[in-house]
Amino acid sequence: MKRLYILISFLCLIGAATAQNSNQNYVVTRTMLNESSSSYLDVVKYYDGLGRLCQTVHNQVTPQKNNLLDLSEYDESGRDVKDWLPVYSSSAYLSASAFSSTASGNYGSTARPFNQSVYEASPSDRLVAQYGPGSKWSDKPMTTDYMLNGSSEALSCVHYSVNGSTLVNGGSYATGELYVVRTQDEDGNTASQFTDKQGHTVLVSQLNGTVRHDTYYVYDDYGNLCYVLPPAMDGNISTTSLNLYAYQYKYDRRNRCVWKKLPGADAVSYVYDLNDRLVFSQDGNQKSRGKWMFYLYDDLSRLVVQGECANTNTSTASARSVACTRVNTATGLGNSGYSSDFALTAPVVYLVNYYDNYDFRTLPGFNNSFFSAETVSAKGYLSGSVITVLGSDTKLYSANYYDKKGRVTKTVSSNLLSGYETTTTIYTFTGKPASVKHVHMAAGKTTQMEINTYTYDHAERLTKVEHSLNGVKVTLAANTYDELGRLSGKSLHGSASNKLAYAYNIRNWIESISSGGLFNISLYYGYNGNVSRMVCRCPGDNKTYGYNFAYDNLSRLTSAQSLIGGIITLGYATNYSYDKNGNLLHLRRGGQTGLSGTGIIDNLSFTLNGNQLKAVNDDATATASNGFEFKDGAKLATEYMYDANGSLIKDLNKGIEIQYNLLNLPSQVKFSDGSTITYTYGADGVKLRTVHKIGGVTTTTDYCDNVIYENGTAKQLLTEEGYVSLSDKKYHYYLKDHQGNNRVVTDQAGGMEEANYYYPFGGVFLSNGNDVQAYKYNGKELDTKKGLNWYDYGAREYDAVLGR
């Protein structure tokens, strides 16, 4: 924990030791930064005579060791009407007039650097308008209106209720039964929230033009949420409509959710024991296989064993407290060292957790020199785990070690290559990581040892990250900050040419990221914060590429007007339309059709079944020269098929079939020509291996923490700023935009290796240099083999061609 000393002073009881204003009431909070107390951070809060916080001062916190101050002003009724943005100054306290003058110097005389609140003229003091900082927003407030429901189109609300397990439409609420709060953002987009007398939100209504998009929330008599009815239902509560669109929940008499049905998927059932702990669950796929997930707990209700079983008596668990006992021998459930008093049929254990101590070290998988004895007690903490590799009998073992403050100082875990990952962390006095040492070992492979060392300034801002690989140290990144504490610059690998500069507007939205001739991006915004324009230039281009963006009243992107060299062209333009749930109905995409020509490469119409994609028709005739486009491989009424959990199992346009593991993560993609992509996951959802078998060629990729192997050879070691190619130990760096997209990959000298331009939904429309690595949009891994074009987001795969 941080060492905090709170010094309370009224009317200068402390004196001038910390240079506070002696004419104000204040509280000083001191955070010690080292054991000797020679370094610390002071925060001084000043209060007026009525006890209201009026100014906060962070002493000497800026890079130039100025103070950072903010100010709140109140009206005659004691309401907070003006909150100023922080200013930097050498002064320990600023009067309101001095603060205003300082703010003009920091932000500009016409910047309007404060938030202003306007209240209604009534005893309720309700907020009716908020003006954000910036002169451009001086006439663009966010407004709030307070009303009651009525019979008009804008204020009407359907009264849904639950009768037993049936959803009932009871007509409209009587006038005055509901509170309505209508908000309007700076661009005039409105949303109305309807609340009943119990405080339950029953409707959120948004307007797109003149069309209402209503989301209803329906509760039972006990206040449990039973239905969420999204806009696409449009009042249709038939069984078919509910199954396609609605989120449905059922509860037992103890108000525990025992049944859940999500749109497009079969129901999930839940069983609890007498201690209200979830002990069984069953999704649609498991129901067809006659399987249940089981969850077992220790005496402190901590999860200790999780797996799958074939019980038919799961309902009996609700009448008892299901106990699980630790025996510390290679017996019990899956030789886990735990036994249960509830009989499980054909149990398969996927996850085991150990707590409080390291007695599990005698069990198989732990009884070796890598898992050392404890030096500090782990009482109350997770000390070890066993993870099953799905689709196999392989187990992965891990242990966590702690210091006296309960911080993890060391983790040891086995990997899929019969080796171990050992991570050791040393902390600063305030609990920030000072160094993180990672040792990767694999059977028959070269050991990789890396150390990340972190340096902080006097205000605990990260200023330097150093990386040592097998004893050779480099500076990954050196950060600089402006006087307001914002990241202003980053130097990569200590290179004079590989530097990034960041600029912000008055609302701290990024306006530009620039790196000389390597990468430059400029951003422009609408009043509500949506990006309205983006212009980018990467190495290898003598012109810029960008977009003008347009949105509907729900902030959904409707068009991206292509800009090449600042001129509007067809180029890489895109257009979108949606249904009421936000599913794409139409996508029109321009792209490069030859060495210099562009045209419409996709003109897609989507057929939906609920929220699920059923078919796609492409009316475009041009073909993209870089291969990124929709391939209309089928002309059928139904081209996409799903399993009981709503997961895509067939894509006839790509010509693939997809199998899933019990976590609903893909385990195999099979192409019509017999090619396959096989994925291996741990039971914790971490991807461990990918095997591509395409055209008679097998490529195996193993993921061991941040070390990546290809066909048994260590290929990459991922770092915080890019990666190291392990064949030559060279560093490579990502230059990222505001979304975390990897725009440019550079070598350690700052030379361009790869540059990417992206469509709004993540597809790459233009690349320069070589395709040297797989991490692209949002920094996610892209698999382009066999035209798959999937981004791996961990919990799901994302197809940028379809935007879903």
The per-residue pLDDT for range 506-559, each reduced to its tens digit, is 999 999 999 988 899 999 999 999 999 999 998 878 889 999 999 999 999 999
Residue 595's pLDDT band, with cuts at 50, 70 and 90, is confident
Supply 155's token pair.
């204020």
Domain-terminating residue out of 406, 425, 451: 406
In the predicted model, is pLDDT for residue 4 greater than 80?
no
Question: Residues 351, 393: one domain?
Answer: yes
Segment 381-438, tens digit of pLDDT? 999 999 999 999 999 999 999 999 999 999 999 999 999 999 999 999 999 999 999 9
For residue 574, give every residue at least 6 positions away whose Cβ sits within 8 Å of its Cβ, in sequence order, or none.
Answer: 559, 560, 587, 588, 589, 590, 759, 760, 761
Question: Residues 195, 107: one domain?
Answer: no
Q: Which helix (H) or strand (E) holds 514?
A: strand 510-514
Residue 11's pLDDT band, with cuts at 50, 70 and 90, is very low
Within-domain flag for 41: yes
Question: Residues 282, 401: one domain?
Answer: yes
pLDDT at position 19: 61
pLDDT at position 660: 98
Question: Residues 398, 353: one domain?
Answer: yes
In the predicted model, is pLDDT for residue 671 greater than 90?
yes
Domain-terminating residue out of 116, 148, 163: 116
Question: Residues 106, 182: one domain?
Answer: no
DSSP annotation of 199: S
In the predicted model, is pLDDT for residue 17 greater than 70?
no
Are 530 and 522 a contacting pair, CB within 8 Å?
no
Average pLDDT, integer, range 29-50: 96
Within-domain flag for 174: yes
Segment 233-290, tens digit of pLDDT? 999 999 999 999 999 999 999 999 999 999 999 999 999 999 999 999 999 999 999 9
Task: Please give the backbone phi and psi of residue 667, each rounded to the nearest 5 degrees, phi first.
Answer: -100, -25
Whole-angstrom distance, CA of residue 461 vs CA of residue 65 = 13
Q: Tell me which residue range forms the domain holding 223.
A: 140-248
Residue 16's pLDDT band, with cuts at 50, 70 and 90, is very low
Q: What are 725-732's contacts with CB under 8 Å, separation 24+?
A: 726/448, 729/469, 729/470, 729/472, 731/467, 731/474, 731/476, 731/493, 732/772, 732/773
Question: Residues 96, 62: one domain?
Answer: yes
- Residue bearing tokens 């254990």: 349
Average pLDDT, integer, range 465-480: 97
Question: Residues 243, 272: one domain?
Answer: no
Segment 540-551, tens digit of pLDDT? 788 899 999 999
pLDDT at position 12: 37
Nearest in space to 760 (alpha carbons), one of 477, 553, 551, 549:
549
pLDDT at position 496: 79
In the predicted model, is pLDDT for residue 2 greater than 70?
no
Within-domain flag for 221: yes
- Residue bearing tokens 């130990």: 729
For residue 556, give every residue at least 6 positions away whose Cβ sits within 8 Å of its Cβ, in sequence order, or none.
Answer: 576, 578, 582
pLDDT at position 719: 98
pTM, two decimal places? 0.94
In the predicted model, is pLDDT for residue 444 greater than 70?
yes
pLDDT at position 375: 85
Supply 665's token pair.
């993560």
Supply 601's token pair.
């490469």
Within-domain flag for 557: no
Query: E strands, 59-189, where?
Result: 67-74, 80-84, 87-89, 114-119, 127-131, 142-148, 158-163, 166-172, 179-184
Segment 171-196, tens digit of pLDDT? 999 999 999 999 999 999 999 999 99
Within-domain flag for 154: yes
Domain-terminating residue out of 248, 283, 315: 248
Residue 9's pLDDT band, with cuts at 50, 70 and 90, is very low
Percent of the chain with pLDDT over 90: 89
Whole-angstrom distance, CA of residue 677 vs CA of residue 658 = 9
- Residue bearing tokens 């070269």: 446
Nearest in space to 216 (alpha carbons), one of 206, 208, 227, 224:
227
Whole-angstrom distance, CA of residue 754 vs CA of residue 771 = 6
Counting beta carbons within 10 angstroms of the beta carbon of residue 153, is it exposed (0 to 12), middle (13 to 18) or buried (19 or more)? Answer: exposed
Average pLDDT, integer, range 326-346: 88
In the predicted model, is pLDDT for residue 6 greater than 50?
no
Nearest in space to 388 (alpha carbons), one of 447, 347, 421, 428:
347
Question: Residues 12, 111: one domain?
Answer: yes
Residue 596's pLDDT band, with cuts at 50, 70 and 90, is confident
Are 714 and 445 a contacting pair, CB within 8 Å?
yes
DSSP annotation of 93: -
Within-domain flag for 746: no
669 - beta bridge partners?
658, 677
Average pLDDT, integer, range 148-160: 97
SS3 state of residue 475? strand
Question: Residues 285, 366: one domain?
Answer: yes
For residue 467, give every residue at least 6 positions away whose Cβ sits within 8 Å of its Cβ, in sequence order, or none.
Answer: 450, 451, 452, 453, 473, 474, 475, 476, 719, 720, 731
pLDDT at position 688: 98
Within-domain flag for 640: no
% helix, strand, coil for the chain, step of 5 = 5, 50, 45
Residue 14's pLDDT band, with cuts at 50, 70 and 90, is very low
Average pLDDT, integer, range 193-207: 98
pLDDT at position 3: 45
Chain mean pLDDT for the chain: 95
pLDDT at position 772: 87
Whole-angstrom distance, CA of residue 632 vs CA of residue 617 = 7
Question: Residues 332, 374: one domain?
Answer: yes
Residue 594's pLDDT band, with cuts at 50, 70 and 90, is confident
Are 265 and 248 a contacting pair, CB within 8 Å?
no
Whole-angstrom distance, CA of residue 736 vs CA of residue 521 = 10
Question: Residues 166, 103: one domain?
Answer: no
137 - beta bridge partners?
none
Question: Residues 243, 351: one domain?
Answer: no
Q: Which amino acid is at 642?
A: Y
Q: Which amino acid is at 139?
A: D
Whole-angstrom distance, CA of residue 594 vs CA of residue 356 = 64
* Number of domains forming the structure of the chain: 3
Within-domain flag for 93: yes
